[in-house]
Structure 1
């Protein structure tokens, strides 16, 4: 009620209409049903690194969440590559049919799938037929560096068009109209808003193309390839979100050229709603449970960001310049009254999403996602500080025409525009950093590794694969293809990155014949080295090594 009283009468129908439209939009989004987290490969048959007597007919990949297959490539011991067909046995299991007549040696399977949150993920596994090759095929990296840079840059331009362009067009429609102005145009602000919209629209097809390269796991090239554009548009949710975002920018661009007041307000309102929908269509947060809370939070966070950062250029134009030294007092005061409500929505929705995604305070500095969030919060804190200084120190004297206050306010607003763009640049890094929520919910309970050294082979596993008490097991222990009964087995774990360990425990044979070492407590996540020393006889000791990725749920 307080916010409604602060609005002029000519703007109240617009606000009521937008509230109704956004409410219906949120209901539609929430009713779309549940979705899953960032998927991870939890098991494969054969296991990664397995040495097989005979060539397998197929490889079964099991993921933590439903996935859609993209590309599967098989490389043989001499480096020849072949594309493989995939059959889905259920939503989380993919069956890869292997060609007949695989030659002896080490083969690699590189795979790319799309998880429910719209992100392409990739990986690979090695298996050997007969015996391992001296130099086996290498596994391709998950994302090409040029593709990653192109994704980040094109997304930045598109997001700038949405936040600064669409947000600016909305404020231009609200502020620069007869009930607030007295007959003058603000061409400078509109020109910058239009420029950001044109750049965002132009960046959209580039963003879609890079999505295609990323989905296929390819370096940029073949820009006219139908496979690249098909993958960019349909393989991930980001392609569809980009199209909706482009529609929002087109509607906003048209609104800047329309003179009819109601049509201009309607177009800018439609642009806002489409931008909110685009934000909720893809990304880590879009699939985070409970969606009844997270999806509306995403939409509100996006709308609030556009209302704040997007309003800066129109506000700068309303302050006047050399051609019009007197500020538009009504526009300045209206912006000042509304922004506290916008910031409340921005902070509240952002806090909810941060709690859902990060889960524990330690994940802020222990994970890449948390570190990006900290960088964002640092920049936003500067923005809030500048906004507070603007509101409580300079707005009122500037509205009365104080030249000194107007000068300081203009400089501060320009700084806010730069900082707001920097926030968008930092947030682009989230495209490559799964949140702790996704890592914790999708990390496998058990991790297994095939280890071998000097003719000694075994399967090494760690349970569970996250911080806290864990058990290390060694089974299928064989020397030169024959089972052995060693004199002792010792397990050692350490985390060199954090200077932790090594921890050493004796392994004892269990009822199932496997050697088990208990008593390990892993305090932090990350990469842990495992060394297993097997005393084969009084004169022979063999140490096998492997690495495990431990999550910090």
Structure 2
């Protein structure tokens, strides 16, 4: 019995496909057209020594900044300005994980000092700010000795969002189409059309990567889009971000060499496996250079984000191939074989997207309150709502496939797939904005740092002075920072730190405070204070084999 091979009516000519992709791109750009935040820092200054707005009897020999996560330097962006408007920081600041130590000249000048800083957080985003302290008595705040901005340039910040979106669009036009043409493409059909889509995807990913490297330079320094010099570029390329992007470029070259025979239909199984391995490695360069690398469970976040990106690219890229070529060029017999397989692939990709997205949200949002009280959380909600609409349309498309399209089915399937692509283009735009937005877990935690209950005191012993900072000095979890100085107010190396906390009024016996040395004279610890009242914190500091002393701080906890 002869098999009917009636061709389906044309759905999208190449010109109309191009117009559709341009329209989707414009829709996503509308999503990205949001004003840049004053600062998109994903770390925060957790404490400082001296404290902001404090008045000291003697000038410190150094200023210590402690951030909520590891940071790296931006050349010449950490400064201490004296009361006369001149810089008093000397030499380069020392970076040790989350701790930055700034040596300060001992000028003896009385008055107010200005500390300004700009550093890069672990997920490649800039952290900038400043505070003042005074020696003797406050005076007029000194002006900065530079006119350079320490904030984010809006053109650069929004340019990075656009570059990330272009990169995501490139992944869609690259991964899904390569998978379809490798495993589902009918041998009788020409590969010239899909080849154009795939090479476009390669070009977009490459363009986005190069633009990302270029824009990251002024993003870190706070300059404009053309404020790029050799020193700043080397600084970016030597970072984790730069390394990931350079590796991506190298992998793209190797992938491009393997794509040429594939698009001619000459690739063997070994080459396809190698292409999959290289593509998987390239996918990991996205999470390694972003939020996942700085999450509390970095290894899990990086893997989950890679799964999320891959699933998205397989699903949407397959839809592009379906609406752009297969529904237009394949006959009924070919579609009867292809569509059920593709439908199962799409269902698996959607399941992976949902699972990976859920894990990402649990890690990056942290608490239900942060989901509604932070910009990141609200963007997640918008993304979930839109994704739910896409899944509903995808279910309708799957129903059409199970019904073997039927009368008028191709037209309905075309419309459904078009709606899927339209909504997901906006979802991709939201994703590009999310990458540049402070994660909810960080934003929520930052609100608690340096709160109104912050406690600080300098305790004297016969051997040393000990500055004690307790943040937020409220019931619940608290961070403790200790700084040791000699009688001349210079940093004093400590051999061993021990501490306890007790609440005598409520018969709470002393409990140990685990203390972790950060530098020779700086230690930190975390402790939960479950009750309100005047807590007695005792610290024993040993500065040699035989010399040690104990001091006590009474901390009111509300």
1:120 to 126, 150, 153: 126
1:349 and 2:353 aligned: no
- Cα shift readout 1:304-359 (whole Å, capped 9, x = no counterpart): 122112222122234343x7776841332221122222222221122122112222
Q: Note closer, same or farther for the CA distance 1:60–1:450 as it changes in structure 2 (3 Å cut).
A: same
Higher alpha-carbon deviation: 378-387 or 250-259: 250-259
CA distance in 1, matches of 2:421, 2:126: 32
1:307 and 2:314 aligned: yes
CA contact (8 A) 2:397 2:413 kept: yes
1:185 to 186, 190, 197: 190
1:316 and 2:319 aligned: no
Task: State the SS of the aligned residue for 1:307.
Answer: helix
2:165 to 129, 148, 156: 156
1:206 and 2:192 aligned: no
- When the two structures are superposed, what TM-score results if normalisation uses the length of structure 2? 0.66
Indicate the structure whose relative CO is greater, using CA pairs within 8 Å and at least 6 residues apart: 2
Displacement of 1:137: 3.2
Q: Note closer, same or farther for the CA distance 1:467–1:252 as it changes in structure 2 (3 Å cut).
A: farther
2:347 to 336, 340, 364: 340
CA distance in 2, matches of 1:238, 1:469: 33
Task: State the SS of the aligned residue for 1:218.
Answer: coil
Could you tell me which residue of structure 1 aligns to residue 230 of structure 2? Answer: 226
Aligned residues: 431
Displacement of 1:388: 0.7
Could you tell me which residue of structure 2 aligns to residue 110 of structure 1? Answer: 116
CA distance in 1, matches of 2:254, 2:381: 34
Could you tell me which residue of structure 2 aligns to residue 243 of structure 1? Answer: 246
Could you tell me which residue of structure 2 aligns to residue 22 of structure 1? Answer: none
1:217 and 2:222 aligned: yes
Task: State the SS of the aligned residue for 2:404.
Answer: helix
Instruction: Report matched runs for 1:2-21 at 5 Å.
Output: none
Displacement of 1:444: 6.9
CA contact (8 A) 2:45 2:67 kept: yes
CA distance in 2, matches of 1:309, 1:379: 15
Instruction: Report matched runs for 1:499-510 at 5 Å.
Output: none
Gaps of 5+ in 1: 1-36, 452-458, 471-506, 520-553
Q: Note closer, same or farther for the CA distance 1:381–1:166 as it changes in structure 2 (3 Å cut).
A: same
Higher alpha-carbon deviation: 246-255 or 52-61: 246-255
CA distance in 2, matches of 1:168, 1:85: 54
CA distance in 2, matches of 1:311, 1:252: 19
Gaps of 5+ in 2: 1-40, 456-466, 479-531, 538-551
CA distance in 2, matches of 1:359, 1:197: 36
1:363 and 2:370 aligned: yes
- When the two structures are superposed, what TM-score results if normalisation uses the length of structure 1? 0.67
Could you tell me which residue of structure 2 aligns to residue 48 of structure 1? Answer: 52
CA distance in 1, matches of 2:151, 2:227: 19
Instruction: Report matched runs for 1:261-272 at 5 Å.
Output: 261-262=267-268, 265-266=272-273, 268-272=275-279
Instruction: Report matched runs for 1:383-394 at 5 Å.
Output: 383-394=390-401
Displacement of 1:207: 0.7
- Cα shift readout 1:247-293 (whole Å, capped 9, x = no counterpart): 45445544443232326624541343123321341322234344554
CA distance in 2, matches of 1:102, 1:413: 72
CA distance in 1, matches of 2:195, 2:418: 15
CA distance in 2, matches of 1:162, 1:172: 15
Q: Note closer, same or farther for the CA distance 1:131–1:214 as it changes in structure 2 (3 Å cut).
A: farther
Displacement of 1:381: 1.2
